[in-house]
Copies of this chain bind each other. A is one copy, B any other.
Amino acid sequence: MSDVALFNMIINPNIIEMEYAVRGPIPQRAAELKKHGRNIIFCNIGNPQALGQRPITYYRQVLSLLEDPDSIGRERNLRSLLNKAGLASKALLSDELLNTAEDILKKMETGMGAYTESRGPAFIRQAIARFIDRRDNIDEEGIPSDPDKIFLTNGASEAVKFILEMMIASPKDGIMIPTPQYPLYSATIKKNGGAQVNYYPDEDSDWNLKKSMLEESIKDAKKQGITVKAIVVINPANPTGAILSEKSMREIIEFAKEHEMAIIADEVYQENVYDGKFISFAKIIGKEAVPLFSLHSISKGFYGECGQRGGYLELRNPPGIKDHACKFLDVLVKQASVSLCSNTAGQLLTYLMVTPPLPGSESYPLFFKEKTQILDDLYEKAEIIRAAFKQMDGMKCFGRIGALYLFPRLEKLPAGTDDFDYCMALLEETGLCTVNGSGFGQKKGTNHLRIAFLPPKEMLKEVLPQWIAFHNKYVNRK
């Protein structure tokens, strides 16, 4: 057999065709330029700590104690030694921190190095359920979250793969996804050999979504014999930063109910709503006969712990009220057990995310200060970039500010060029690495780019004037 034949024999053709722009040709070129000494600003991905965001002190101090349980005793020994000598030091951790870590280790039973239950330890799933209930104010009205229907995952990416693998068995199994969308969805549908069914929120009315848009999209899919198993909603949206209205959410639920499909609610940016309030699908959906998978993650929000790969998936309304609800869950548990469990550092950071320090505690003031600073900064940085867009010919940016991204439309481009050419030229000229709109999907004939509003303000102040100059020269060239 020739090499080419062996290559083709071994590799699943779906994987050859699959695309993933967020780490595609432009970021790859950026990495190459960086290797050769160029100063690159990586705005292609929501990776805050790569752009200088410091981790939340409290989270890391607790995690560090958990990874080396002996350190708790060592800290105490040092404190008593210093006390005896009449010395004090800020370098010692507070008793509150040591007690928190000790308390967690007690709950974990087998520490950080053992496989946990496949879904994740029960005490973490219980804490997540309480977090969801608090967030959604279920004391007033609503249905409590069920810890048995929560699965800890290696980031939300793994949750997405988990759900789509569970659903897609044939090329006629369809998943509805927004256009534009985060390419994890299109790539995973492709890899599993399913059908991608696009729907199109309306950019010109701030990416607003109406049931009629969904109806249009499913009509086409049904014509092609596709069974749509689920609709994906990303809220706040990636890449557009748009935030759904409650009205749109209710229309989506109605649509899913009528057409008998599940909802996959990617809510990893739920803390990244800078003006307004996040509303979860879990709160709105009630007991409708619509299976709901909601996702959250430690990678975004104000924590930005991307590399630690923690997250969870919450299931509501599994099909079947008696026997089958149970069986549905059993199947998910079995599927989760093949991966044994998600990583414990990610699990524990997820636990800390849902049990932050409370007002009045010793750790609270610093925690609150760090949290507020990061969220305020993000909003300010988004505004700074949006202001720059106003100085760029034909650069139009819709949407409230949500998530970590801006997704402006390039209304003016030289003939024969598209957003890919523009982003590549922008990178070469200024070192700014963004992603072309076509990497996320977009309405035919439009051009966009996505930029993560993460670089430090000083960096923005330096690069934005360069971008403006580049832009106006590029789009007006003859």
Q: How far apart are A70's CB and chain B's nearest CB, in angstroms?
A: 7
Interface contact A49-B229, CB-CB below 8 Å? no
Q: Complex Cα distance A319/B18, Å?
A: 20
Q: Give 1 or 0 for each of A128-167: 1 = CB within 8 Å of chain B CB.
A: 0000000000000000000000000011011001000111
A94 interfacial contact with B, CB 8 Å:
no
Q: How far apart are A161's CB and chain B's nearest CB, in angstroms?
A: 8
In chain A, positions 285-336 with a C-beta closer than 8 Å to chain B are: 289, 291, 299, 304-309, 319-321, 324-325, 327-328, 331, 334-335
Q: Complex Cα distance A300/B348, Å?
A: 22
In chain A, positions 48-89 with a C-beta closer than 8 Å to chain B are: 48-50, 55, 57, 60-61, 63-65, 67-68, 70-71, 73-75, 77-78, 81-82, 85, 87, 89
Interface contact B82-A81, CB-CB below 8 Å? yes
Q: Complex Cα distance A60/B112, Å?
A: 10
Q: Which residues of B contact A118 (CB under 8 A)?
A: 23
Interface contact B55-A319, CB-CB below 8 Å? no
Q: Which segment of A183-191, A375-383, A430-438 sits at the interface?
A: A183-191
Interface contact B6-A260, CB-CB below 8 Å? yes
Q: Which segment of A8-16, A246-254, A467-475 sits at the interface?
A: A8-16
- Known contacts A63-B68, A319-B10, A328-B11; is-contact A47 B307 (Cβ 8 Å): no
Q: Give 1 or 0 for each of A257-299: 1 = CB within 8 Å of chain B CB.
A: 0001010000000000000000000000000010100000001
A368 interfacial contact with B, CB 8 Å:
no
Return the contact of A343 from the options B45, B71, B89, B345 (Cβ within 8 A): B345
Q: Give 1 or 0 for each of A17-38: 1 = CB within 8 Å of chain B CB.
A: 0101011000000000000000
Q: Complex Cα distance A324/B45, Å?
A: 29
Q: Which residues of B contact A309 (CB under 8 A)?
A: 154, 340-344
A346 interfacial contact with B, CB 8 Å:
yes
Return the contact of A319 from the options B7, B74, B324 (Cβ within 8 A): B7
Interface contact A89-B78, CB-CB below 8 Å? yes
Q: Complex Cα distance A63/B111, Å?
A: 14
Interface contact B49-A78, CB-CB below 8 Å? no
Q: How far apart are A104's CB and chain B's nearest CB, in angstroms?
A: 14
Q: How far apart are A439's CB and chain B's nearest CB, in angstroms?
A: 12
- Known contacts A165-B15, A334-B20; is-contact A78 B50 (Cβ 8 Å): no
Interface contact A308-B343, CB-CB below 8 Å? yes
A361 interfacial contact with B, CB 8 Å:
no
Q: Complex Cα distance A413/B226, Å?
A: 51
The contact sample of 27 A-B pairs, CB cut-off 8 A, is: A3-B324, A4-B324, A7-B328, A10-B229, A10-B230, A10-B328, A11-B331, A12-B167, A15-B334, A20-B334, A22-B337, A49-B113, A55-B112, A57-B70, A60-B68, A60-B70, A67-B67, A74-B92, A77-B89, A78-B89, A110-B307, A154-B309, A155-B339, A165-B191, A169-B193, A307-B341, A345-B346
Sample of 9 more A-B contacts, CB < 8 Å, known A18-B338, A75-B91: A3-B321, A10-B328, A45-B115, A50-B114, A61-B70, A73-B91, A82-B82, A308-B344, A308-B345
